[in-house]
Amino acid sequence: MTSRILWVLAGCFLSVNSGLAQEPKEQPRAHKPQQAQLEKDAEEMLAAVVRVRMKAIPDARSSANLGQSREGTGVVIDERGNIVTIGYIVIEADSIEITTQDDRTVPATLIGYDHASGFGLLRSGVPLGVKPMPMGQAADLALREPVMILPAGGREMASLAYVVSKRKFAGSWEYMLDSAIFTAPPTFQWAGAALVSRDGKLVGIGSLLVRETLEGDSQVPGNMFVPIDLLKPILADLIEKGRRKGPPRPWLGLATEEMHGHLFVTRVSPEGPADKAGIKNGDVVLGVGADPVKSHEELYRRVWALGAAGTDVPLRVLKGVDVRELRLRSIDRFQYFREKPTY
C-alpha cells in the first residue's frame, strides 16, 4: 500500500475543495494493473470504517451534554472485530450497533474505555469479514503533511486535510493530551473519524471541531484528533479488563473556562465531588492548596499530582466576593458514569 492510495481516494472530491486542501501538482501515475490494485486497496481501507450508532441507558448522566442517541465512526483494527472510536459516542450505552460499508447493521458491545485518552473500544457481535486498518505512528507525522479523514459513509465522505500543528491540548472537562493532532480544513463528521497517513495507516481518531488549530492569535478552524500512539500501550488492557491498568486519576466533576487569567466554573457534574462541595457555575478556581492556578494545565497537573482517585483535593475558590477553602473527596470517573443493568 503506497501513498498513491490517498490520491485514489481523494480524486472524487479534490476538485471541489478549496483552501488548504488543494490537489498535488504532481500525482503518481499508475499503469492499469497498478491502478486496479490501488482501487482494491482503497476499497479495503474504506471497508474498515464503520458507522456507530448508540442509544444511552435511560438514566445516563452523559445524556445532558451528549444526547440520548449518538452517532459517529469506528475503525476496525484487528481480525477479532475490535473497533476503536472516540469514547463519548458510546459511554453509558444501552445498545450499540455498527453499519458496514456494504450496509450490514450488526450489534456491538463496549468492551473498553479510557478516560485519559478518550478512546472507546467496541467489539462486533458477528464477524465482519473486512480487512483491519493497520495502525501507523502518529509521532512520525510532519507539519503540513497531507492526510485523509475518513468518516463513515464511504468515499463520498472522505476529505483531504493537512497537519497544521501537533501540540498539547487541555479541555474544559478535566482532560488533557500532551500531544494532539490538529488538521485543517475542518470536516464536520469528525466524531470517531479515521485519520489516515499517506501510507494508508491509521494515525488518529477524530475528537473535536475546533476554532483554532494553531497556537497564538491565528484562527484557523479544523479538527483535533487523538493520536493512535496513545492506544497501543493500553490496547491489551482495554481488551482484557475494559480499562488501563494502574491507579486512576482523581476526578472532580468540574468544567472550567480560561478567561483573562482566571478559571471560571462553567459546569458542575450533578452529584459529583465539586457539586457535593458546593461549587457553582460562576465560581472561580484560584488554586490547589497554596498553589495558584490560572490555566487548565496548571489545575489538572496539580490535582493529578496529589495521588490516585479517592485523594482529598484542597481548592481555593472565589464565590462572589468571598474566598473559600474547600476540600473535595475525588473519585474515579468510572464510578460516576452508569452502566447498563445486567439483570
Could you read off the pLDDT of 174-192 as tens digits, one per residue? 999 999 999 999 999 999 9
Whether 154 shows a pLDDT value over 60: the answer reads yes
Q: Specify whether 88 is located in the same domain as 42.
A: yes
Q: Which residue has the cell 496539580?
A: 302
Whether 257 shows a pLDDT value over 50: the answer reads yes
> Which pLDDT value is given to residue 41?
79
Question: Average pLDDT in the 259-264 region?
Answer: 94
- For residue 133, being part of any structural domain is answered with no
Residue 209: give the domain boundaries.
139-228
Least confident of 9-13, 154-158, 223-227, 228-232: 9-13
- For residue 88, being part of any structural domain is answered with yes
Whether 241 shows a pLDDT value over 80: the answer reads yes
Q: Specify whether 62 is located in the same domain as 145.
A: no
CB contact set of 111 (below 8 Å; sequence gap of 6+): 82, 121, 122, 123, 238, 239, 242
Question: Can you read off the three cell numbers belonging to residue 269?
Answer: 457534574
> Which pLDDT value is given to residue 28?
52
Compute how many other C-beta atoms are within 10 angstroms of the C-beta atom of residue 64: 11
Least confident of 30-39, 155-164, 261-270: 30-39
Q: Specify whether 15 is located in the same domain as 117.
A: yes
Instruction: Say how far apart CA 333 and CA 269 lie, in whole Å.
Output: 11
Report residue 18's pLDDT band, with 50, 70 and 90 as the boundaries. Answer: very low
- For residue 237, being part of any structural domain is answered with no
- For residue 134, being part of any structural domain is answered with no
CA distances 29 to 33, 62, 143, 148, 290, Å, are: 12, 49, 25, 19, 64
- For residue 240, being part of any structural domain is answered with no
Q: Specify whether 273 is located in the same domain as 311.
A: yes
> Of 64, 99, 124, which one is at a domain's C-terminal end?
124
Q: Specify whether 9 is located in the same domain as 119.
A: yes
Instruction: Say how far apart CA 144 and CA 164 lie, in whole Å.
Output: 6
> Which pLDDT value is given to residue 42?
82
- The number of folded domains in the chain is 3
CATH no. for residue 154? 2.40.10.10
Q: Specify whether 14 is located in the same domain as 92.
A: yes
> Of 80, 95, 124, which one is at a domain's C-terminal end?
124
Instruction: Say how far apart CA 45 and CA 158 lie, in whole Å.
Output: 11
Q: Specify whether 119 is located in the same domain as 23.
A: yes
Question: Average pLDDT in the 223-245 region?
Answer: 97
Percent of the chain with pLDDT over 70: 89
> Of 101, 124, 147, which one is at a domain's C-terminal end?
124
Q: Specify whether 102 is located in the same domain as 16.
A: yes
Whether 302 shows a pLDDT value over 90: the answer reads yes
- For residue 143, being part of any structural domain is answered with yes
- For residue 313, being part of any structural domain is answered with yes
Whether 249 shows a pLDDT value over 70: the answer reads yes
- For residue 302, being part of any structural domain is answered with yes
- Angle 78-119-253 from CA coordinates, rounded to 5°: 160
Q: Specify whether 118 is located in the same domain as 14.
A: yes
Q: Specify whether 219 is located in the same domain as 324.
A: no
Whether 93 shows a pLDDT value over 60: the answer reads yes
CATH no. for residue 301? 2.30.42.10
Q: Nearest Cα to 2, choosing from 50, 39, 32?
A: 39
Q: Specify whether 13 is located in the same domain as 118.
A: yes
Q: Nearest Cα to 268, choosing from 141, 339, 172?
A: 172
Report residue 219's pLDDT band, with 50, 70 and 90 as the boundaries. Answer: confident
Query: Quick check: pTM over 0.75?
Result: yes
Question: Average pLDDT in the 20-41 region?
Answer: 60
Q: Specify whether 270 is located in the same domain as 213.
A: no
> pLDDT tens, 96-144?
999 999 999 999 999 999 999 999 999 999 999 999 999 999 999 999 9
